[in-house]
């Protein structure tokens, strides 16, 4: 994202004009203002940042801005000198209680997801470990039919598990089960970092921003809402995200506290309504199928090809991943665990946002 900076230069003996900086920022599209009189040794510069929050325009003085190509970082000695403000006791206790719940909800959600994965594996009874083999062989017919000339795609462990799943259960290819839509490339000119983001901005989710089966609240980049609307991604609560470029086979589910635009390396997966009616599939059940290594990651890796440098899972290959048709009660049990897990994840994100706002408000009181 390109940021506009207003610079006001004064003669060395001038100290006036600093009060006008806020007006310059308030009535322009700029988000940073610099006042400078050439006398740095005697406080002859000021950096002011504009923050738009909850319909209000606020201003914050910042110590410095980097020059072109300069790395923004702190040394250990500088970090040790950072002063931490202490809120009043009542507010501090409230923040601590919320942070404890944030940690608790995260742990409980991850435990539920692992429990659901274990339950699913107990049902499908697939191998979880590959035998250590120095070499293996395959037939030419399989090689040509699969049409990926890569040894990884023909590992016996991958093939045996896929064949066993199809022998033990009725299955459907993912492409028949769900609509798959890849993300968008917003363009680096539209990227904004967390420091500059507005409350209306959307998190820009790349493959590296899917962690612990969820969208990162604090990714590297954010995108303005007016640009997001032009992509018409229509992300909804419960949508499954599946990475298809670079870091293949990472899964997440969108919660009600996520506001995101997904990058082109991520696909959005949503069950077709007729499949819900016919087989009682749920988004939560499909999430488990794609999150378990033996039925999600391994089939995805088997169908991955390497571009010039980056692995790619093409959509037509992703659609081939087999989804087993389990009994309704089994699907219901798995669905319930994942629903609770993502309700906890959503509540955790809500609390994180509340804590950040609370700390910001306390800091404003501290400053004044």
User: Which residue's entry shows tokens 């002859």?
Assistant: 44
* Distance (Å, whole) CA 268 – CA 239: 7
User: Which residue's entry shows tokens 């250590």?
Assistant: 132
Label residues 1-18 b or e (16+ Cβ within 10 Å = b). Answer: beeeebeeebeeeeeeee
Q: What is the pLDDT of residue 296?
A: 97
Q: What is the pLDDT of residue 66?
A: 64
CB 242, CB 207: distance < 8 Å = no
Give CATH 3.90.220.20 domain extents, the chain.
Answer: 112-355
Give the 3-state secondary structure of residue 222. strand
* Distance (Å, whole) CA 331 – CA 278: 13
- Token pair in block for residue 247: 């870091």
CB 315, CB 244: distance < 8 Å = yes
Q: What is the pLDDT of residue 15?
A: 63
CA neighbours closer than 13 Å in the CB half-sphere of residue 323: 26
Do β-strands 32-36 and 5-9 pair in parallel, antiparallel, or remain unpaired?
parallel
The per-residue pLDDT string of the chain (368 residues; one tens digit each, 9 = 90 and over) reads 456 788 888 777 666 666 677 777 777 777 788 888 777 665 577 788 887 766 677 777 777 766 665 666 677 887 888 888 888 899 999 999 999 999 999 999 999 999 999 999 999 999 988 877 778 887 788 778 888 888 888 888 999 999 999 999 999 999 999 999 999 988 888 888 877 788 889 999 999 999 999 999 999 899 998 888 889 898 999 999 999 999 999 999 999 999 999 999 999 999 999 999 999 999 999 999 999 999 999 999 999 998 777 899 999 999 999 999 999 999 999 999 999 999 999 999 999 999 999 998 888 887 76
What is the pTM assigned to this prediction? 0.79
Query: What is the enclosing helix (H) or strand (E) of 220?
Result: none
- Token pair in block for residue 230: 């032009």
User: Which residue's entry shows tokens 């959600």?
Assistant: 109
Q: What is the pLDDT of residue 180?
A: 97
Fold of 112-355: Adenine-n6-DNA-methyltransferase TaqI; Chain A, domain 2 (3.90.220)
Give the 3-state secondary structure of residue 128. coil
CB 197, CB 261: distance < 8 Å = no
Rg of the chain in Å (alpha carbons)? 26
Do β-strands 260-262 and 202-205 pair in parallel, antiparallel, or remain unpaired?
parallel
CB 51, CB 57: distance < 8 Å = yes
Residue whose C-alpha is closest to residue 299's, from 263, 275, 323: 323
Q: What is the pLDDT of residue 70?
A: 60
Burial of residue 126 (number of CB atoms within 10 Å: 0-12, 13-18, 19+): buried
* Distance (Å, whole) CA 43 – CA 37: 9
Between the alpha carbon of residue 206 and those of residues 19, 24, 241, 248, 322, the distances in Å are 41, 35, 11, 12, 25
Cα-to-chain-centroid distance, residue 124: 30
CB 116, CB 338: distance < 8 Å = yes
* Distance (Å, whole) CA 322 – CA 189: 39
């Amino acid at each position: 994202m390109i940021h506009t900076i207003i610079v006001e230069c004064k003669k060395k003996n001038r100290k006036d004009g600093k009060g006008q900086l806020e007006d310059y920022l308030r009535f322009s599209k700029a988000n940073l203002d610099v006042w400078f009189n050439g006398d740095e040794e005697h406080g002859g510069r000021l950096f002011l940042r504009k923050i738009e929050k909850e319909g209000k325009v606020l201003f914050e003085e910042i110590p410095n801005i980097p020059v072109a190509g300069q790395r923004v970082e702190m040394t250990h000695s500088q970090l040790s000198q950072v002063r931490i403000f202490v809120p009043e006791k009542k507010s501090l206790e409230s923040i601590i209680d919320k942070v404890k719940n944030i940690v608790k909800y995260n742990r409980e959600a991850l435990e539920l997801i692992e429990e659901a994965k274990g339950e699913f594996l107990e049902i499908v009874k697939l191998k979880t470990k590959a035998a250590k083999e120095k070499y293996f062989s395959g037939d030419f017919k399989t090689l040509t039919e699969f049409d990926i000339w890569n040894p990884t795609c023909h590992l016996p462990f991958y093939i045996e598990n896929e064949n066993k799943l199809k022998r033990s259960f009725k299955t459907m290819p993912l492409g028949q089960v769900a609509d798959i839509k890849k993300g968008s490339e917003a363009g680096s000119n539209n990227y904004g970092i967390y420091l500059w983001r507005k409350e209306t901005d959307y998190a820009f989710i790349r493959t590296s921003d899917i962690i612990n089966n969820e969208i990162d609240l604090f990714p590297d980049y954010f995108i303005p809402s007016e640009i997001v609307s032009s992509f018409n991604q229509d992300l909804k609560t419960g949508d499954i995200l599946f990475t298809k470029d670079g870091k293949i086979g990472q899964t997440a589910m969108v919660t009600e506290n996520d506001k995101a635009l997904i990058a082109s390396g991520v696909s959005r997966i949503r069950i077709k309504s007729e499949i819900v009616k016919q087989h009682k599939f749920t988004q939560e059940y499909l999430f488990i199928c794609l999150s378990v290594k033996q039925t999600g990651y391994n089939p995805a890796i088997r169908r991955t090809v390497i571009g010039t440098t980056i692995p790619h899972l093409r959509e037509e290959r992703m659609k081939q991943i087999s989804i087993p048709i389990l009994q309704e009660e089994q699907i219901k049990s798995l669905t319930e665990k994942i629903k609770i897990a993502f309700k906890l994840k959503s509540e955790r994100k809500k609390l994180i946002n509340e804590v950040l706002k609370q700390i910001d408000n306390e800091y404003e009181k501290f400053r004044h």
